[in-house]
Chain A
Amino acid sequence: MGSLRHRVGLLDAWRHRVRSAVSQLAAAGAVIVLFGYLSLASNAFLSTTNLINIGVQSAVVAIIAIGMTLVIITAGIDLSVGSVAALSGVLGALLVVTYGVAVPLAVVGGAAIGALAGLVNGVLVTQAGMAPFIATLGMLSVARGLVYIVTGSVAVSGAPPEFKLLGQGRLGALPIPILALVIVALAGHFVLTRTKLGRYAYAMGSNVEAARLSGIPVKRYLSIVYIISGTLAGLAGMIAASRVNSGQPNFGIGLELDVIAATVIGGASLFGGEGTVIGTLLGALLIALIRNGSVLLDINIFYQQVIIGVIIWIAVFWDQYRRRRSPER
């Protein structure tokens, strides 16, 4: 009997491993197929400039999506990232333009503003006991409102040339947004796979009560997760502002949807407990590829929306299919 179950267990485990690999491959496969198709369909696609452009264009979404992955792993959600990114970008630009703060300091300031917004989200979720959806929906509105109050709804421009460095500068041949993304991704991967924070995120997302009874300080770690999400949104907001050399009050409206799409396409489950940095990067890359390819092939913008929506469906369907197929006894 035991040996039978043992064998069945082995089989199941093996199946599970194959399935989770295939789920990653679904996003990876889509990226490869699209990449191949675009290489053939557009002779401009494979140029170094274009590939670097795709990297830079995906950086903002990808950086925020890495924070979002952490949040979604805990079975939470952060809807405020787009607004928080705008708030950071605008206030960061304002620090430089109006108060003459040094640019590196302003970047730190922008990220800190994001962190503060994340802290508020975290406190609302853990202390006030609000559902993450509600808490961050509120923050989405509050942060956007603050942007308009602070700017009078006019773009903050007139920043000195150094302000461009973060979004437009290069280190050697590597654009700084890509460099920032690489650093964030490596750190994110390390955090998720090798640190207590990452382990606890998965545990809380898988079973928050088990985590609590195992002595994990759930509230503290959940708060940290939202702070990280806010900080990365702030950093990405600064990169976006730097790319257009101004703080744009209308930046990032609806950005959270792209970010969540990237995360979900990358295999994260909105039920928590699942998600990887690599998957999320693939998801963000896929979205950037679709956008880039659509312009290269001069496809109507409305079709781009449809394509992204369909890919979300496929990804989520895949996720649920996997869930249904997995043995439950």
Chain B
Amino acid sequence: MRIRLSVSLSCAVCAAVLASGCSAVSVPGSGASGGPKIKATGPLTLAVVPKAVGFDFWDSVRKGAQCAASTMTDVKVQWDGVTAETDVTGQVNLLQNFLTRQVDGLIYAATDAKVLAQVSQDALSRNVPVINIDSGTNPQPSNVPVFATDNVTAARKAADLLADALGPGEHKVAFIPFQPGTVTNDQRTKGFKEGLAKHPNLTLVAEQSSNSDPNTALSVTENILTANPSLDGIFAANEPGVVGATNALNQAGKAGKIKLIGWDASPDEVKGVTSGAITALVVQNPFRMGFDSVNAMVKTVRTGQLAASEDTGVTFVTQRNINDPAVQAILQPSCANPPA
């Protein structure tokens, strides 16, 4: 009896402790233990930081983010970024400046997974909630969700698309990555090579980086064509690479003959699909990255509820489906016509 009582007492204590612990977790900010502060009303300023300004992709993220903010009152999006995706220090400084200015939430794409992990920690310790878009950190804190494309899966599918376009028989293909050493680049490389492994009839004969510069991509593609006159297909893993490769194929008179699978959807790339120079584009949904992440962030700040990570998905755009309204919504995202 006494024993049982003591057990049940201790259980009650246990439960109380657990409950309080749980409540601290489930309602962030309500306890003294930290976590994001709830700011149920009043103006909010959210910082949205891409890897770099200067590309169509990141501009779509901006449109999505600002669109989300415009549908709500009292939410302001601060958009700022460094000018080169390689400028890791610059991005760290920029984010720290935002923290110093005490923004209510931080949404950013990490230029370097390891280095930026520290910035996320800093933000969390200052009770500023963080969401990663496009690229997360390593380690990824459990309370920082990632809104991104699953690059590995999508790149694996790009290899399938290339194999489909080339058909049966032996084929030589080239791969144009953009920034070896960055997470996104390496994920796409990994996915594409995994995909290639499933198609033994495709041989990878060249792998040369574009340095994310269309003029470099142009020269590199020209040189690859020189070295491999019987090339059958190319996979270029981001926008500048695709733009450069498309120009090289056009100038060599090989547009359409060599199958080009690209990534992203700048106006020039879309034009390439229409003209037949580009076989297919792996199109992410940057608008949704911006849109959904801002909505999720506002919810977290207003209610304390943490958002879950989200695969924002990819669409494969070809000459055949390019005029579908759903595809057009992704290609020309706007607040009036947001993509699904």
Once the chains bind, are B209 and A44 in contact (CB under 8 Å)? no
Cα–Cα distance between A243 and B205 once the two chains are bound (Å) = 25
Question: Could you say which residues of chain B place their CB within 8 Å of the CB of A292?
Answer: 219, 223, 226
Smallest Cβ-Cβ distance to A175: which chain B residue: B251
B residues 216-274 near A (Cβ < 8 Å) are 218-220, 222-224, 226-229, 240, 243-244, 247, 251, 266-268, 271
Once the chains bind, are B54 and A153 in contact (CB under 8 Å)? yes
Cα–Cα distance between A160 and B213 once the two chains are bound (Å) = 22
Once the chains bind, are B226 and A245 in contact (CB under 8 Å)? no
Contact of B226 among A53, A153, A240, A244 (CB under 8 A): A53
Is B118's CB within 8 Å of the partner chain A?
A: no
Smallest Cβ-Cβ distance to B226: which chain A residue: A50
What's the tally of chain A residues with a CB closer than 8 Å to chain B? 37
* Given known A154-B56, A246-B268, A253-B84, contact A301–B206 (CB-CB < 8 A): no
Is A126's CB within 8 Å of the partner chain B?
A: no
Is A158's CB within 8 Å of the partner chain B?
A: yes
A residues 138-167 near B (Cβ < 8 Å) are 144, 148, 152-155, 157-158
Is B59's CB within 8 Å of the partner chain A?
A: yes
Contact of B215 among A50, A154, A157, A251 (CB under 8 A): A251
Contact of A42 among B53, B207, B213, B227 (CB under 8 A): B227
Q: Interface digits, B327-338 against A, CB 8 Å rule (1 contact, 0 not)?
A: 000000000000
Contact of A53 among B54, B208, B222 (CB under 8 A): B222
Cα–Cα distance between A295 and B209 once the two chains are bound (Å) = 10
Once the chains bind, are B54 and A44 in contact (CB under 8 Å)? no
Once the chains bind, are B251 and A295 in contact (CB under 8 Å)? no
Cα–Cα distance between A49 and B211 once the two chains are bound (Å) = 24
Once the chains bind, are B224 and A295 in contact (CB under 8 Å)? yes
Q: How far is the CB of B339 from chain A (nearest CB, A)?
A: 18
Question: Could you say which residues of chain A place their CB within 8 Å of the CB of B228?
Answer: 44
Scoring B223, B226, B271 by chain A CB atoms within 10 A of each residue's CB, the highest score goes to B223
Question: Could you say which residues of chain B place their CB within 8 Å of the CB of A154?
Answer: 54-56, 59, 266
Question: Could you say which residues of chain B place their CB within 8 Å of the CB of A168?
Answer: 247, 251
Is A125's CB within 8 Å of the partner chain B?
A: no
Interface residues on B, range: 35 or more
Smallest Cβ-Cβ distance to A58: which chain B residue: B219
Question: Could you say which residues of chain B place their CB within 8 Å of the CB of A148?
Answer: 53-54, 83
Once the chains bind, are A60 and B55 in contact (CB under 8 Å)? no
* Given known A53-B226, A251-B213, A295-B206, contact A244–B267 (CB-CB < 8 A): no
Q: How far is the CB of B83 from chain A (nearest CB, A)?
A: 7
Question: Could you say which residues of chain A place their CB within 8 Å of the CB of B271?
Answer: 157
Cα–Cα distance between A144 and B247 once the two chains are bound (Å) = 24
Contact of B213 among A45, A144, A250 (CB under 8 A): A250
Is B325's CB within 8 Å of the partner chain A?
A: no
Once the chains bind, are A158 and B215 in contact (CB under 8 Å)? no
Once the chains bind, are B226 and A144 in contact (CB under 8 Å)? no
Cα–Cα distance between A49 and B222 once the two chains are bound (Å) = 9
Once the chains bind, are B227 and A155 in contact (CB under 8 Å)? no
Is B21's CB within 8 Å of the partner chain A?
A: no
Once the chains bind, are B267 and A157 in contact (CB under 8 Å)? yes
Is A208's CB within 8 Å of the partner chain B?
A: no
Q: Interface digits, B31-75 against A, CB 8 Å rule (1 contact, 0 not)?
A: 000000000000000000000011110110000000000000000
Q: Interface digits, A113-147 against B, CB 8 Å rule (1 contact, 0 not)?
A: 00000000000000000000000000000001000
Cα–Cα distance between A233 and B53 once the two chains are bound (Å) = 23
A residues 213-260 near B (Cβ < 8 Å) are 240, 243-246, 248-251, 253
Is B200's CB within 8 Å of the partner chain A?
A: no
B residues 186-222 near A (Cβ < 8 Å) are 205-209, 211-215, 218-220, 222
Question: Could you say which residues of chain A place their CB within 8 Å of the CB of B55?
Answer: 153-155, 250
A positions within 8 Å CB-CB of B: 42, 44-45, 47, 49-50, 53, 57, 60, 144, 148, 152-155, 157-158, 168, 240, 243-246, 248-251, 253, 291-292, 294-298, 301-302
Q: List 21 A-B contacts (CB under 8 A).
A: A49-B226, A50-B223, A50-B226, A148-B83, A153-B53, A153-B59, A155-B56, A155-B243, A155-B268, A244-B214, A248-B240, A250-B55, A250-B213, A251-B214, A253-B84, A292-B223, A295-B220, A295-B223, A297-B227, A298-B208, A301-B209
